[in-house]
Structure 1
Amino acid sequence: MTTISDVTSAEQIAATSQLRFATAGSVDDGKSTLVGRLLHDSKSVLTDQLEAVEHASRRRGQEAPDLALLTDGLRAEREQGITIDVAYRYFATPRRRFILADTPGHVQYTRNMVTGASTAELAVVLVDARNGVVEQTRRHAAVAALLRVPHVVLAVNKMDLVEYAEPVFAAIAEEFTAYAASLGVPDITTIPISALAGDNVVTPSANMDWYGGPTVLEHLETVQVGTDLTDAPARFPVQYVIRPQTTEHPDYRGYAGRIASGILRVGDEVTVLPSGATSTITGIDALGEPVDVAWAPQSVTVLLADDLDISRGDLIAPTASAPATTQDVEATVCHLHERPLKVGSRVLLKHATRTVKAVVKALPYRINLTAGLAHESGPAQLDVNDIGAVVLRTAEPLPLDAYADSRLTGSFLLIDPADGTTLTAGMAGEAFAEPAAAGASAVEKEQEGWDF
């Protein structure tokens, strides 16, 4: 039998040595160049990739390789010189492995930044040293705060174009730090860089001896990240019911899935939601072997003492810390689709492995990201890239955690029931709502099957 204390030091290192981070910034602030510089100077670029970039740069009349081409892979991106889609890159140094999301800077691609930053543990926000903190900088800081990204790095880029002047950097850093702190960003680090020249990206800059802090890569390698999912209450969304019905195991009934948070042990009393049925864990199988204990984010099969009606979409949780279920969902959402979200819209709500019908009861406010997190009350609809509050009524109870407590079991998607299009990304809870409660208006339910 395996216990949690049997985890090897190598496995512990592997679990804590990965960093997911996202880049953000205004157009032409140099995000893609920064990412290319990180990849190039950390020797994470294959020879053929670098040769292709050098060849493409020469065709465009550039003497030096344009490192931004390492991430701007779409033809429209290369032609326009901007980032449109989220570009994911994977690289590693001897100290840590990295999953990087290079997100667009245009206002109309705010939804792409939300997608890229939703799982990030750190966000690198770039500003042009010549322009300082601009509207899009404040927007990206607000998105990072909304998504509860725990660490934010302000990279003041193009310091070479302001003669590496310390007062320029200090003024920008002070303004951004004050603004981000007012939004509730818990950890802010500021670094002066030149992505084009390589100053303070991977190696310290000889042009800024007044700066004594880390380079971007050094900070990425050493920042304390990796929320210990085992500290949170256990949550086990059921993905699949296993009934092999073999002669060797004629009565085997297991519930397979990935532990979203916490620790499960044989002997734990658990509750199955939303039914509320209770039982006891009699066995846990991991990689085909029985274990006494399993923890997030392991994929396992759980066996229970009782023959309960459990199917995909149910949630198994310790009885002592089981979440409450509700049919009235209040959440902050980012609308992702050109089709607007309106009061009365009928949608599917996907939470973990469960999908239920839902109706939009109210849109209490839209968030003005350019003015901090100011609210614009009672919008007629949420359009693409809008972030605001929504009140939903679901057809079945959902075991939702608050997003502030869990970015995994506190998030959901809204889907168009007609064609399966993803419409909206949601964060359960009212962490960013104004004190005044917004009443939910009555909605005509003209479609059969949506009267709940």
Structure 2
Amino acid sequence: MSTTTTAPAPGASEHDHLTATSPAPQPRVLLRLATAGSVDDGKSTLVGRLLHDSKSILADQLADVARVSEARGLEHVDLALLTDGLRAEREQGITIDVAYRYFATAKRSYILADCPGHVQYTRNTVTGSSTADVLVLLIDARHGVLEQTRRHLAVAALLRVPQVVVAVNKIDLVGYDRTVYEKVAAEVRAVSAGLGIEDITTIPTAALTGDNIVHTSDTMSWYHGPSLLQLLDGMLPSTDPVEGFRFPVQLVLRPQSSALDPRQIEYRGYAGQLTAGQVHVGDEVVVLPSGLSSRIAGIDLAGRQLDSAVAGQSVALRLTDDIDAPRGSLISSAADAPRPVTTLDAMVCWVAEQPLQVGSRVLLKHGSTTVKAVVDQIKGRLDLATMSPAPAQALALNDIGRISVRLAGPVMAESYLETRHGGAFVLVDPQSGWTLAAGMVRGHEAFGDSFTPPDDWQI
């Protein structure tokens, strides 16, 4: 792509020229990215290579990594150290915690979550993938699809990650063999299809040498697709396909200071983040679970009044009627408001050490609402070897299963397939406060048309 510039007028500074002729800079689109894969598939090295080759790391960071690499007797700079920040991670050469990194290109700003590969840290992968627009799943070209690969694909299917990119990594260790790549790619597509993952792309990569990470590789003449970063730069963040809007109330704003403008003393604003859709001044709304109706009188953002707000914005809504809408309420478009429910049929990823049993008492957190709950039934778990449901009396660490939960109060939960925000929840231990499970409300089949559960798994 070429650009045309005009020389500044005589006597004008370069800054004046740019100010006069250059268009206002446009904000970069934010893309949330997560990486996953089995142990030693090269995730941290790939992330480090991505940061290094896109010039997204500082010179002192690179110097520190080079010093540590030399102290270990390595002949090359170990780029994996850029993400493995915990001391235990560096000592063992593994990723334990989710490492968040931020970088940008000319087209995108990225928040990247580098997730662990060990089975015992699958819960961290659930955390990193829960808000991702794209999941980059690594597979060692020498080993192909493993059980942990299937587990990560199942997590991606359950969490409805909109786009999945599979990097068949370490292709250099198999001599850049096209046949090996195509065999692994076919296998991963077959597993993905069985889980109902429709949008999936495969790329042959070598993170250690940088092949197809930021720039396309000259070594693999048989591959004509984009590099990983080129592919990511062309992707867009996901949005929930909700026709109206959803606004969980986090805080009620009631200024009390006498120093304020007297007109603001009676101010009542409902603060929170718009999780889906778009809201305009004058829209008819309903407040749940009370079911009271009103209209939007105003939308405030950092002292400014807006005519509208879109998903992702944190604003304060004002209503035309004096309605009680405490924290935990949901302000929704009236035409398609969700129905409050007190029982949930859900898929969960169990992330706690202690197993889940029928009758377990938990706290269920959905949006800004937290209610007491009891697990009424464990309907089964996903067998990752056969990718089919299996009977289960309990769910152990890293199990993926289906449960029924009875709630002490109503929540405005929706099908996870229709809205990731409205269909997601977490289970919390009421004593310790630790997260027990990430849950997805069922409204349709969880794993696509090719997944055929027995009768008791049907809705």
TM above 0.5: yes
Alpha-carbon offset, residue 53 of structure 1: 0.6
Cα distance in 1, alignment partners of residues 241 and 154 from structure 2: 29
Please give the secondary structure, in 2, of the residue aligned with 1:78.
Answer: helix
RMSD: 1.9
Counterparts of 1:5-44 in structure 2 under 5 Å?
A: 14=27, 17-44=29-56
**Corresponding position of 2:14:** none
The answer for the alignment partner of 1:418 in structure 2 is: 431
Q: Quote the Cα distance in structure 1 between the aligned partners of 2:238 and 2:144.
A: 32
Once the two structures are superposed, residues 372-392 of structure 1 have per-residue CA deviations (whole angstroms, 9 ceiling, x without a partner) of 2x1112x22212211111111
Q: Distance in 2 between matches of 1:330 and 1:423?
A: 17
Q: Distance in 1 between matches of 2:299 and 2:34?
A: 36
Equivalent-residue separation in structure 2 for 1:286 and 1:230 (angstroms): 25
SS in structure 1 at match of 2:335 = helix
Q: Match of 1:442? A: none
Q: How many residues align?
A: 426
Residues 303, 261 of structure 1: alpha-carbon distance in 2 compared, 3 angstrom cutoff: same
Structure 2 residue 235 is the aligned partner of structure 1 residue 220: no
Q: 419, 428, 451: which one pairs with 1:406?
A: 419
Partner of 2:369: 354
Secondary structure in structure 2 of the residue aligned to 1:109: helix
Per the alignment, residue 394 of structure 1 pairs with 407
Indicate yes or no: 2:320 matched with 1:320.
no
Q: CA deviation at 1:231?
A: 5.5
1:375 aligns with 2:389: yes
Contact 2:345 2:402 in 1 (8 A): yes
How big is the shift at 1:37? 0.7
- Percent identical: 55
Matching residue within 241, 261, 268 for 1:253: 268
**Structure 1 residues 10 and 170 mapped into 2: Cα distance closer, same or farther (>3 Å)?**
farther
TM-score (norm 1): 0.90
1:233 to partner: Cα distance: 2.3
Deviates more, 1:60-69 or 1:121-130: 121-130
Please give the TM-score of this superposition, normalised by the length of structure 2: 0.89
In structure 2, do the counterparts of structure 1 residues 10 and 342 end up closer, same or farther at CA, with 3 Å as the change threshold?
farther
**Deviations 1:338-371 (CA, angstroms, capped at 9, x unpaired):** 1222111111111111111111111111112332
Point out the more displaced range, 427-436 or 395-404. 427-436
Q: Is the 8 A contact 1:139 1:370 kept in 2?
A: no
2:455 paired with 1:436: yes
| Structure 2 alignment gaps of length 5 or more | 1-22, 448-452
Q: Distance in 2 between matches of 1:196 and 1:388?
A: 37
Aligned partner of 2:19 in structure 1 is none
Cross-structure match for 1:178: 190
Partner in structure 1 of residue 398 of structure 2? 385
Compared CA separation, residues 416 and 84, structure 1 to 2 (3 A): same
Q: What are the Cα deviations for residues 389-419 of structure 1, in whole angstroms up to 9, with x where unaligned?
A: 1111111111111111111121111111122
Match for residue 238 of structure 1? 249
- Is the contact made by 1:239 and 1:257 (CA closer than 8 Å) also made in structure 2? yes
Q: Distance in 1 between matches of 2:129 and 2:55?
A: 25
* Deviation at residue 10 of structure 1 after TM alignment: 7.0
Change (3 A) 1:355 1:71: same
1:6 is matched with which residue?
A: none
Residues in 2 aligned to 1:182 and 1:386: alpha-carbon distance in whole angstroms = 18
